[in-house]
Amino acid sequence: MEDITSGKLSLIIDGKCSNKNIVIDNFSSLKSSNKSSITFFADRKLINDLKKTKAKIVILKQEDVDLHNGDSIVVDDPYLAFAKVANFFLKTNTFEPFIHSNVNLGENTNISKDCYIGPFNSIGDKSIIRKNVFISSNVSIGSNVIIDEGTKLHPNVTIGNDVVIGKNCEIFSNASIGNEGFGYTQDLDNLWNKMPQIGSVIIYNNVDIGSNTTIDRGTIDNTIIGSGVKIDNQVQVGHNCFIDENTIIAGCVGIAGSTQIGKNCKIGGAAMILGHLKINDNITISPGTMITKSLNKSDKKYTAIMPFMEHKDWLKLAIKLKEKRK
């Protein structure tokens, strides 16, 4: 394997390198570094760790160069640069293609020879698994599923029928994608009649889905997750939701059915979004906030439970309440 040099890494992160010939074989924190690792410095509270680090080279900002006696790669955002370096190292650790003998394959499946499929997996009829897909163990994949190149499924993931998963996605343990949504209608006798859920789930490229997250299939049309969306653990996405590209959703968020969420939104942990709403692009929703109506203005931040409001208004209200307590 070709050596990984500081010069090569500096090209990846668009940095200015003091010595391009240093050979690096791992990445680390400042504290856990060794003589062949690369690390980063982004917080001056960690100045003592920087002084003691054993790392061969440190990623940092221009204004922090004089704080470090060793070699460095200067960038605008050390944290982002380090993330790119870490991902580069992890992607160099590729798997050997392999299909375990204890895999239940349906009829007319189309599986690339360049995949890894571990033990105790089940893949339904007419499903397509493209090259460089990694499927761990105890994964259940339904019929007519398409999983595109470079996607990784961790143990105990469940993928329902007709689901489409794009390139370079990662789905973590115990996630459930494309099972039936929660849809019932009540008759005159107050009995609940189940609404058939015959849509599916379409997931575009570069999507991450955390452990124990559930994304329901659509009632008739599909539930859609756009490219670059990042979803944390224990998130519930109801049937027929549409989440547009590059939105990030923290843990324990609940999104009721048929809600549309725009691009580049940030949704804090344990936020709740009611059904059939529209959230515009570039919206930030604070942790624990309950959204009860559509948000039609872009580039806003909303906070509170009942009622929610723009974040700046919530801060004013909090100050007034604090003053009343005095």
Closest to 77 in 3D by CA, of 61, 58, 89, 57: 61
In whole angstroms, what separates CA 44 from the centre of its chain? 29
Annotated active-site residue 154? The verdict is no
Catalytic residue among 100, 154, 239, 311: 239
Contacts of 66 (CB under 8 A, 6+ apart): none
Query: Helix or strand or coil: residue 278?
Result: strand
CA 67 to chain centre: 34
- Rounded to whole angstroms, what are the CA distances from 170 to 7, 95, 185? 29, 15, 35
- Cα–Cα dist 86/71, whole Å: 18
Q: Which amino acid is at 85?
A: V
Cα 237 from Cα 324, distance rounded (Å) = 40
Residues identified as active-site: 239
